[in-house]
């Protein structure tokens, strides 16, 4: 039997919740995979409204942390650097909190505000 790796299943739960959330209709972003050695998950790629060569594309990444069962969310700055030391951690059971945090980051980055309140 072919099985998905357990750490990817955790990230997939977040992705499923994210895509099913009505707030997802407000933002323009694409989902891609994220691989950082022992951390595999997903990332959102999007372009801020005031596009310049310095801030052309941004990323928000999430995965199960390599050293624990926690979920971690990383963001990318305008220099295309992932801010590893500023990752935000959540218990592996807090998938909805991860989704809420991702939407908060999207609102900050894109200047859009969803009228939906969870």
- pLDDT for the residue numbered 38: 79
Judged against a pLDDT cut of 80, whether residue 118 lies above it is answered with: no
Assign 53 a pLDDT band (cuts: 50, 70, 90).
Answer: low
Assign 18 a pLDDT band (cuts: 50, 70, 90).
Answer: very high
Residue 32 sits at φ, ψ, to 5 deg, of: -135, 170
What DSSP element (H or E) covers 33? strand 30-36
| Among 34, 60, 36, residue whose Cα is nearest residue 47 | 60
- pLDDT for the residue numbered 35: 85
- pLDDT for the residue numbered 116: 42
CA–CA distance, 34 with 61 (Å, rounded to integer): 7
Diameter of the chain measured on Cα atoms: 48
Among 30-34, 55-59, 113-117, the range with the most confident prediction by mean pLDDT is: 30-34
CA–CA distance, 42 with 96 (Å, rounded to integer): 15
Question: Beta strands 58-64 and 39-46: pairing type?
Answer: antiparallel
- pLDDT for the residue numbered 49: 67
- pLDDT for the residue numbered 42: 94
- pLDDT for the residue numbered 54: 59
What pLDDT digit, counting tens, does each position of 83-103 carry? 667 789 999 899 999 999 999
Q: Which of 37-41, 52-56, 65-69, 70-74 has the lowest mean pLDDT?
A: 52-56
CA–CA distance, 55 with 32 (Å, rounded to integer): 19
Domain residue limits, the chain: 7-110
């Amino acid at each position: 039997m072919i099985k998905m790796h357990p750490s990817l299943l955790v990230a997939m739960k977040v992705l499923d919740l994210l895509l099913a959330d009505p707030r997802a209709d407000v933002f323009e972003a694409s989902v891609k995979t994220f691989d950082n050695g022992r951390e595999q998950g997903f990332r959102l790629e999007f372009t801020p409204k005031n596009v310049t060569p310095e801030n052309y594309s941004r990323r928000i990444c999430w995965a199960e942390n390599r050293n624990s069962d926690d979920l971690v969310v990383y963001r990318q700055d305008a220099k295309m650097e992932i801010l590893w030391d500023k990752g935000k951690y959540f218990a592996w059971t807090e998938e909805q909190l991860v989704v809420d945090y991702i939407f908060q980051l999207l609102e900050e980055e894109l200047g859009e505000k969803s009228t939906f309140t969870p």
